[in-house]
């Protein structure tokens, strides 16, 4: 009898260890969902975010058979008092062609600010085909009190862009990240 | 046994009543029971799809319930029935796996077709940027120099049962969105703080407003009229008080309206510059300030300035009120990142901000005696 | 494990229960723990129900009368949390504790001491959650789905308490689930092969696997909310490169299997009751097992149907629509099987059967409205309206909760050895059945007419139906007091003694032991033929 109990307990113990491993695995999986989601978005464009690293423009064939209209929208979020406008509201481009659009920012307040621009594309699928070789949204953008600046964004559209997309919108929202940028600066300094 | 039968009948009759009412639903607006057909081709398609689904579901339900009630009635022990012995039949099992599957495919086709049409927002005639924030909508016409906030217009007294409730209780705003009929209007939807959802049932348009991201939806309204909806995603305390009102006008009227708005907004800016040079008296500031406060601030900070402890801060006797006027102006003008405190520079004129700051610094026993003028606000906004 | 050894030895040598409070605090007996879970769930059901009464009282007529909008949001939030994590899930765990060992011929759960722990941390979790309602800033007010950033940047200061209590609830259900799995895997009596297990055991086994797969994901989600709010991470904050919609993906990756966690054991209960009172074997046992498994597997690929309006690409919307519709196939198979079980049976209508029959009808209504909700273009109209509220209350109240009541009536005589008060039980059934439909059926209408959910006040055209809904709500709430009275009587062992089999069509190991079930059963495993 007690031998049997002993066996049973060993058996139970082994199974419990396996199950607890699943539990920890799934807890880890919840956090793994964060990078997985990003990868998933990069593949499917599910959330309409463009890549946050610079693309390289080489050996891209320009497709002159169709024209894509790109619309730019600029917004500043709560707590971000800058003026922020796109110099071009709408442009028509050929896929594969290199383009530049400038964005104007002005900090007319008496305080220094650091901004972060967050891009968003609609329809989201188009985000996969927007390749930026240079963008102010890759980095924090500091402006001292009263400063203004022209921020360039260079991009081309991947000629692989699905034929049914003829028009898309690229929005930048400017966030005030002064506080967190200072923390980072302090940690590095 | 009678009881069961009558219980069953209640359920059945209520289902039948529902389907019978369903068609006349729009006719009897007061007791609307069904989805509305709406005023766009898409919303009509959505309605048809809804009815198709509904009828299929009712038929399936009735068949299942009929079989069930049949056995409840005829296969009772009290009727002396001896139980049968079968408990398996691969053929039957396969049949009722395959048949529902076929029904599903029949449902899926029209649904996919409508969905693809709904998501195709290309080639719009008019584009409106819709921004949700706690608890108001902001509309910006991308082709014109027109933008404004749209705030619920129902009085607090109606909500608190002090006044009689009006016909459009909770579904009325100070400035509705105006769009042209017969043209494709695209909505770019985003948010300034939490997630909201912009919904007009008559257009069959519901899109979440996600902070930092844009979503698209579109509509082409056939009939001029006033269409009402609400925010459909829980967005905090006043989620229930964030209506959407859209007025559809024929294109000529729309063009006249938009030109008028452009002119008005231009004039308002000039007027604001003119007011910069003027000083208002304490009485004026306090009167205007109170109005502005109740309209723009009281939802969170409460009419008595006490806020809601642990949720929205109090404005009574705090350090900022007593000692930090520049900080006070700054937070009203620019808002505070990462909190519900919005930037009011876009929502209020400089003189209104001046008045409300003055009011907050002198009401509820704060009595600092300090006055703020429009030019002080201008100084903060332009860094002078 | 050494703890289990001592417990088993301990149980081998002592018979009968110790008395007093210590019996309940230190108990490792599966029957005691089952009773504790069931009473706890019932108390939470009444507490969550009281909150529903506050909600319905406020919504009785247009205008704000009783509570302010902020408190209203706390009520909807805590009502949801309590009903999901405090009422339905613990009730099912309680039933599993009572029944799984008796059904598979085991002397107790495999890990009795952990069993004690998994129960006793629950009251702590809910004390924290309920206490937060009385603190400055109030309790959680962001809905039981706690969408970021409303629950992070824009939430009140007690959010940490909410996170903490959800963590404890999660740990409790994970421990309970592990216990069920180990018991079923290792403690089955000789001859109790997989395909001989009662469906309640099968559905609970699958539920337990769902639990250990998704409760940790919920724990991950609340942890991210915690760090976003207090430690400056930006998982869900767009300004820091995060994405608020990702929260919904993670939450519903937990949330949709969670829905099945709350309904699969119900399927098991109904599959036990229908054959008993039809005096006929369950139709399609094997297909029931396969259907349950496929529902569980499909539940992992349908989560985004809660998020159609968040702005996904069309392709994703189509995928989730098709996947969701697919779930209705195995669910339909179950309903068809139950009806086929009744077909040409010899039916009687005792109270458990009444609840089971009401379950089939009303759950099917909820299931069919769920199918309607799967259709993306119309979901845009239904989403976040009372139509959704009606749908999930049909599957959770008249589904899950009716099944729990059916189970209690079905097994209560086995537990107490006495027949419950049948008159009271019938009153309870008919009052509940009528009021629950007055409560939830008109919600379909106001939803279709355009009333959003989670609002403390509404436009005038919704007023008439809301009055009916509230009246139905109060009546349903009061009806549960009949249940309370009945349960108190049953616990005082009033009523006629019953035989071992109790119901004349009942089959299974639990009906072979005497009534009331002795404190220790199957010390020597039975042999199943």
Block means of pLDDT (10 residues each) for chain C, 529 residues, are: 40 57 89 96 97 96 92 96 96 97 94 94 96 91 93 90 96 96 94 95 97 95 94 88 91 94 96 95 94 94 93 88 93 95 94 97 96 94 96 96 97 95 96 96 94 94 94 96 95 91 92 92 87
Residue C110 to residue A12, Cβ atoms within 8 A: yes
Q: Of B305, B303, B353, whose CA–CA distance to B156 is shortest?
A: B303
What whole-number distance in Å separates Cα of residue A186 and Cα of residue A165?
Answer: 45
DSSP string, B143-192: TTTEEEEE-B---HHHHTTSSPPPTTTTS-BSS-EEEETTS-EEEEEEES
Flag whether pLDDT at A120 surpasses 50. yes
For C:308-327, CB contacts with A below 8 A are 311-313, 315-316
Considering CB atoms only, which of A89, A108, A173 is closest to B381? A108
Q: What is the pLDDT of residue B31?
A: 57
Q: What mean pLDDT do residues B13-19 have?
A: 50
For C:67-126, CB contacts with A below 8 A are 110-111
Helix ranges restricted to H, chain A: 2-44, 178-188
Flag whether pLDDT at B3 surpasses 50. no
Of all residues in chain C, the one with the smallest CA distance to A44 is C313
Flag whether pLDDT at B27 surpasses 50. no
What whole-number distance in Å separates Cα of residue A12 and Cα of residue C526?
Answer: 20
Token duo for residue B78: 């009290």
Token duo for residue B19: 């389907």
Q: What is the pTM of this model?
A: 0.91
Residue B57 to residue C371, Cβ atoms within 8 A: yes
Q: How far is CA B244 from CA A82, B180, B232, C59, C343, in A?
A: 29, 16, 10, 21, 52
Q: Which band of pLDDT confidence, cut at 50, 70 and 90, is reported for residue B358?
A: very high
From chain B, the residues in CB contact with C142 under 8 A are 234, 236
* Closest Cα in chain A, distance from residue C297 (Å): 16
Q: What is the pLDDT of residue C16?
A: 57
From chain C, the residues in CB contact with A124 under 8 A are 311-313
Considering CB atoms only, which of C150, C329, C345 is closest to B97? C329
Burial code (b: 16+ CB inside 10 Å, e: under 16) for C375-390 equals bbbbbbbbbbbbbbbb
Task: Kindly report the number of other CB atoms within 10 A of residue A4's CB atom.
Answer: 8
Neighbouring chains of A at 3+ CB pairs under 8 Å are B, C
Q: B206 by DSSP, 3-state: which?
A: strand
Is C122 in contact with C69 (CB distance < 8 Å)?
no
Is B145 in contact with B262 (CB distance < 8 Å)?
yes
What whole-number distance in Å separates Cα of residue B36 and Cα of residue B17?
Answer: 18
Considering CB atoms only, which of C325, C340, C348 is closest to B108? C325
What whole-number distance in Å separates Cα of residue B77 and Cα of residue C395?
Answer: 30
Residue C278 to residue B83, Cβ atoms within 8 A: yes
What whole-number distance in Å separates Cα of residue C36 and Cα of residue C94?
Answer: 7
First CA to last CA distance, chain C = 31
Residue C347 to residue B101, Cβ atoms within 8 A: no
Considering CB atoms only, which of A11, A45, A125 is closest to C186? A11
Q: What is the pLDDT of residue A139?
A: 87
Of the residues B240, B245, B309, the best mutation for testing chain C's interface (the one with the most C CB atoms within 10 Å of its CB) is B240
Is B248 in contact with B181 (CB distance < 8 Å)?
yes
From chain B, the residues in CB contact with A176 under 8 A are 337
What whole-number distance in Å separates Cα of residue C342 and Cα of residue C359?
Answer: 14
Q: What is the pLDDT of residue B195?
A: 95
What whole-number distance in Å separates Cα of residue C292 and Cα of residue C211?
Answer: 15
Q: What is the pLDDT of residue C363?
A: 96
Flag whether pLDDT at B269 surpasses 60. yes
Q: Of C177, C185, C141, whose CA–CA distance to C159 is shortest?
A: C141
* Closest Cα in chain B, distance from residue C329 (Å): 6
**Exposed, middle or buried, A188 (CB in 10 Å: 0-12/13-18/19+)?**
exposed
* DSSP one-letter code for C85: I
Residue A80 to residue B188, Cβ atoms within 8 A: no
Helix C314-342 / helix C285-298 crossing angle, nearest 10 deg: 160
Of all residues in chain B, the one with the smallest CA distance to C141 is B236
Flag whether pLDDT at B12 surpasses 60. no
What whole-number distance in Å separates Cα of residue C273 and Cα of residue C406?
Answer: 8
- The lowest-confidence range among B6-15, B49-58, B181-190 is B6-15
Neighbouring chains of C at 3+ CB pairs under 8 Å are A, B
Flag whether pLDDT at A113 surpasses 50. yes
Residue B197 to residue C384, Cβ atoms within 8 A: yes
Q: Of A161, A165, A160, A156, whose CA–CA distance to A132 is shortest?
A: A156
- The lowest-confidence range among A140-149, A152-161, B365-374, B375-384 is B375-384
Q: What is the pLDDT of residue A61?
A: 82
Considering CB atoms only, which of C309, C360, C377 is closest to B111? C377
Which active-site residues of C does the annotation give? 79, 108, 144, 172-173, 256, 258, 260, 271, 305-306, 331, 334, 453
Q: What is the pLDDT of residue B22?
A: 45
What whole-number distance in Å separates Cα of residue A153 and Cα of residue A101?
Answer: 5
Flag whether pLDDT at B370 surpasses 90. no
Q: What mean pLDDT do residues A146-152 have?
A: 89
What whole-number distance in Å separates Cα of residue A88 and Cα of residue A96?
Answer: 19
Residue C216 to residue A30, Cβ atoms within 8 A: yes
Task: Kindly report the number of other CB atoms within 10 A of residue C36's CB atom.
Answer: 22
Q: What is the pLDDT of residue A36?
A: 84
Can you tell me which residue has the tokens 């409106």? B128
Of the residues C150, C356, C359, C367, the best mutation for testing chain B's interface (the one with the most B CB atoms within 10 Å of its CB) is C150
Q: What mean pLDDT do residues A57-66 have?
A: 81
From chain C, the residues in CB contact with B31 under 8 A are 464
So what's the ipTM on this one?
0.90
* Closest Cα in chain B, distance from residue C11 (Å): 40
Q: How far is CA C180 from CA A156, C95, C184, C306, C442, in A?
A: 57, 11, 6, 30, 39
Q: Which band of pLDDT confidence, cut at 50, 70 and 90, is reported for residue B298?
A: confident
Considering CB atoms only, which of C441, C452, C460 is closest to B14? C441
Pairing type for strands A148-157 and A99-106 reads antiparallel
Q: What mean pLDDT do residues B237-249 have?
A: 95
Q: Does C290 touch chain B (CB under 8 A)?
A: no
Q: Which band of pLDDT confidence, cut at 50, 70 and 90, is reported for residue A179?
A: confident
DSSP string, C398-412: IIIIHHHHHHHHHHH
Helix (H) or strand (E) holding A143: strand A141-143
Q: Which band of pLDDT confidence, cut at 50, 70 and 90, is reported for residue B240?
A: very high
Q: What is the pLDDT of residues B179-235, one digit of tens each?
A: 999 999 999 999 999 999 999 999 999 999 999 899 999 999 999 999 999 999 999
Q: What is the pLDDT of residue B28?
A: 42
Q: What is the pLDDT of residue B367?
A: 85
Pairing type for strands B146-150 and A90-93 reads unpaired
What whole-number distance in Å separates Cα of residue A75 and Cα of residue A82?
Answer: 10
* Closest Cα in chain B, distance from residue A120 (Å): 5
Q: Which band of pLDDT confidence, cut at 50, 70 and 90, is reported for residue B20?
A: very low
Of all residues in chain A, the one with the smallest CA distance to C238 is A118
* Closest Cα in chain B, distance from residue A65 (Å): 19
Helix (H) or strand (E) holding B74: helix B41-74
Q: Which band of pLDDT confidence, cut at 50, 70 and 90, is reported for residue B21?
A: very low
Of all residues in chain C, the one with the smallest CA distance to B81 is C346
Q: C494 by DSSP, 3-state: which?
A: coil
Considering CB atoms only, which of C224, C232, C311 is closest to A180? C232
Flag whether pLDDT at A59 surpasses 80. no
Q: What is the pLDDT of residue A188?
A: 56
Is B200 in contact with B194 (CB distance < 8 Å)?
no
Q: How far is CA A74 from CA A108, B212, B217, B381, in A?
A: 17, 11, 19, 19
From chain A, the residues in CB contact with B123 under 8 A are 166-167
- Collect all residues from A whose CB is shorter than 8 A from any CB in B: 47-49, 71, 73, 75, 77-81, 89, 107-111, 118, 120-123, 145-146, 165-167, 169, 171, 173, 175-176, 179
- The lowest-confidence range among B15-29, B189-203, B341-355, C187-201 is B15-29
Considering CB atoms only, which of B15, B83, B201 is closest to C280? B83
Can you tell me which residue has the tokens 């129902």? B154
Residue C219 to residue A30, Cβ atoms within 8 A: yes
Is B153 in contact with B169 (CB distance < 8 Å)?
no
From chain C, the residues in CB contact with B67 under 8 A are 339, 343
Considering CB atoms only, which of C328, C344, C430 is closest to B75? C344
Can you tell me which residue has the tokens 């009689």? B164
Residue B97 to residue C278, Cβ atoms within 8 A: no
Residue A30 to residue C250, Cβ atoms within 8 A: yes
A/B interface, count of CB pairs below 8 Å: 88
Token duo for residue C250: 């993670």
In angstroms, how far is CA C408 from the centroid of its own chain?
A: 14
Q: What is the pLDDT of residues B77-136, one digit of tens each?
A: 999 888 888 888 889 989 989 999 999 988 889 999 999 888 888 888 999 999 999 899
* Closest Cα in chain A, distance from residue B326 (Å): 11
Flag whether pLDDT at B248 surpasses 50. yes
Work out the mean pLDDT of chain B and round it to a whole number.
Answer: 87
Neighbouring chains of B at 3+ CB pairs under 8 Å are A, C
From chain B, the residues in CB contact with A83 under 8 A are none
Which residues, listed in sequence order, are joined to residue C89 by a DSSP beta bridge?
none
Residue B71 to residue C346, Cβ atoms within 8 A: no
Helix ranges restricted to H, B277-324: 282-292, 298-301, 319-323
From chain C, the residues in CB contact with B119 under 8 A are 314, 317
Residue B343 to residue A173, Cβ atoms within 8 A: no
What whole-number distance in Å separates Cα of residue B196 and Cα of residue C310?
Answer: 10
């Amino acid at each position: 009898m007690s031998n049997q109990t002993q066996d049973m307990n060993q058996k139970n113990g082994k199974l419990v260890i396996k199950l607890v491993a699943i539990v920890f695995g799934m807890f880890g999986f919840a956090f793994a969902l964060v990078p997985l989601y990003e990868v998933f978005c990069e593949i499917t464009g599910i959330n309409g975010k463009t890549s946050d690293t610079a693309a390289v423009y080489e050996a891209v064939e320009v497709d002159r058979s169709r024209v894509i209209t790109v619309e730019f929208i600029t917004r500043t979020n709560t707590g971000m008092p800058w003026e922020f406008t796109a110099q071009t509201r709408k442009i028509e481009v050929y896929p594969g062609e290199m383009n530049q659009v400038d964005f104007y920012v002005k900090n007319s307040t008496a305080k220094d600010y650091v901004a972060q621009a967050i891009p968003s594309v609609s329809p989201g699928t188009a985000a996969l085909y927007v390749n930026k070789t240079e963008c102010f949204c890759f980095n924090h953008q500091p402006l001292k009190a009263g400063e203004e600046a022209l921020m360039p964004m260079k991009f081309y559209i991947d000629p692989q862009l699905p034929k049914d997309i003829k028009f898309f919108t690229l929005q930048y929202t400017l966030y005030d990240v002064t506080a967190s940028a200072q923390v980072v600066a302090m940690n590095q300094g | 046994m009678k009881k069961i039968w009558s219980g069953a009948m209640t359920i059945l009759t209520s289902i039948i009543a529902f389907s019978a009412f369903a068609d006349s639903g729009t006719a009897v607006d007061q007791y609307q029971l069904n989805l509305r057909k709406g005023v766009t081709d898409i919303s009509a398609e959505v309605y048809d799809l809804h009815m198709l689904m509904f009828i299929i579901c009712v038929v399936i339900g009735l068949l299942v319930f009929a079989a069930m009630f049949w056995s409840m009635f005829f296969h009772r022990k009290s009727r002396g029935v001896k139980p049968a012995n079968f408990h398996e039949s691969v053929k039957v099992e396969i049949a009722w796996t395959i048949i529902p599957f076929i029904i599903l495919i029949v449902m899926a086709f029209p649904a996919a077709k409508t969905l693809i049409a709904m998501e195709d927002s290309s080639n719009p005639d008019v584009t409106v940027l819709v921004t949700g924030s706690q608890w108001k909508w902001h509309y910006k016409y991308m082709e014109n120099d027109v933008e404004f906030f749209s705030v619920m217009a129902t009085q607090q007294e109606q909500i608190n049962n002090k006044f009689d409730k009006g016909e459009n209780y909770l579904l009325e705003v100070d400035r509705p969105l105006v769009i042209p009929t017969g043209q494709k209007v695209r909505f770019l939807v985003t948010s300034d703080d939490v997630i909201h959802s912009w919904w007009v049932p008559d257009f069959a348009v519901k899109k979440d407003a996600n902070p930092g991201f844009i979503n698209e939806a579109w509509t082409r309204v056939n009939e001029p009229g006033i269409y009402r909806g609400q925010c459909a995603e829980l967005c905090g305390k006043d989620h229930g008080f964030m209506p959407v009102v859209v007025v559809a006008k024929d294109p000529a009227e729309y063009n006249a309206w938009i030109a008028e708005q452009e002119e008005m907004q231009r004039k308002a800016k000039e007027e604001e510059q003119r007011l910069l040079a003027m000083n208002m008296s304490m009485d004026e500031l306090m009167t205007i300030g109170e109005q502005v406060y109740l309209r723009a601030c009281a939802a969170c900070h409460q009419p008595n300035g006490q806020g809601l402890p642990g949720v929205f801060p109090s404005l009574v006797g705090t350090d900022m009120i007593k000692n930090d006027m520049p900080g006070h102006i700054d937070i009203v003008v620019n808002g505070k990142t990462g909190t519900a405190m919005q930037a009011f520079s876009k929502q209020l004129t400089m003189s209104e901000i001046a008045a409300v700051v003055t009011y907050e610094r002198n009401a509820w026993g704060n009595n600092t005696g300090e006055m703020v003028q429009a030019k002080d606000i201008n100084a903060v906004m332009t860094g002078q | 494990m050494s703890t289990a050894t001592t417990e088993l030895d301990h149980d081998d040598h002592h018979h009968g229960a110790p008395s007093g409070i210590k019996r309940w605090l230190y108990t490792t007996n599966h029957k005691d723990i089952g009773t504790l879970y069931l009473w706890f769930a019932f108390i939470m059901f009444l507490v969550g129900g009281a909150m529903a009464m506050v909600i319905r009282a406020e919504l009785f007529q247009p205008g704000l009368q009783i509570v302010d909008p902020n408190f209203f949001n706390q009520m909807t939030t805590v009502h949801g949390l309590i009903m999901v994590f405090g009422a339905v899930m613990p009730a099912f765990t309680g039933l599993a504790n009572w029944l799984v060992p008796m059904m598979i011929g085991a002397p107790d759960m495999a890990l009795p001491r952990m069993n004690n722990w998994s129960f006793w941390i629950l009251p702590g979790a809910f004390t924290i959650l309920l206490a937060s309602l009385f603190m400055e800033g109030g309790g959680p007010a962001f809905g039981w789905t706690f969408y970021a950033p409303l629950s992070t940047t824009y939430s009140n200061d007690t959010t940490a308490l909410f996170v903490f209590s959800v963590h404890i609830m999660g740990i409790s259900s994970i421990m309970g689930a592990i216990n069920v799995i180990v018991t079923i895997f290792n403690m089955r009596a000789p001859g109790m092969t997989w395909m001989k297990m009662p469906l309640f055991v099968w559905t609970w086994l699958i539920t337990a696997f769902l639990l250990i797969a998704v409760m940790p994901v919920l724990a991950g989600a609340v942890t991210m909310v915690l760090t976003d709010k207090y430690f400056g991470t930006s998982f869900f904050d767009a300004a820091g490169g995060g994405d608020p919609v990702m929260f919904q993906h993670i939450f519903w990756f937990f949330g949709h299997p969670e829905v099945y966690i709350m309904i699969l054991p119900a399927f098991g209960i109904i599959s036990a009751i229908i054959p008993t009172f039809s005096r006929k074997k369950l139709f399609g046992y094997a297909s029931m097992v396969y259907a349950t498994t496929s529902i569980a597997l499909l539940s992992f690929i349908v989560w985004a149907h809660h998020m159609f309006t968040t702005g996904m690409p069309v392709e994703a919307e189509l995928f989730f629509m098709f996947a969701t519709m697919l779930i209705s196939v195995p669910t339909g198979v179950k309903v068809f099987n139950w009806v086929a079980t009744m077909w040409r049976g010899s039916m009687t209508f005792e109270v458990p059967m009444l609840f089971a029959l009401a379950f089939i009808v009303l759950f099917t209504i909820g299931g069919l409205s769920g199918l309607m909700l799967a259709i993306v273009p119309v979901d845009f109209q239904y989403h976040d309206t009372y139509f959704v509220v009606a749908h999930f209350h049909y599957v959770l109240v008249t589904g899950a909760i009716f099944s729990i009541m059916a189970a209690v009536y079905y097994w209560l005589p086995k537990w107490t050895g006495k027949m419950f008060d049948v008159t009271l039980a019938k009153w309870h059934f008919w009052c509940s059945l009528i009021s629950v439909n007055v409560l939830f059926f008109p919600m379909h209408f106001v939803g279709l007419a355009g009333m959003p959910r989670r609002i403390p006040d509404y436009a005038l055209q919704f007023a008439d139906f809301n009055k009916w809904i509230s009246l139905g709500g109060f009546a349903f709430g009061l009806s549960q007091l009949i249940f309370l009275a009945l349960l108190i009587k049953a616990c005082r062992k009033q009523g006629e003694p019953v035989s071992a089999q109790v119901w004349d069509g009942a089959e299974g190991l639990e009906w072979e032991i005497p009534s009331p079930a002795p404190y220790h059963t199957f010390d020597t495993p039975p042999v199943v033929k």
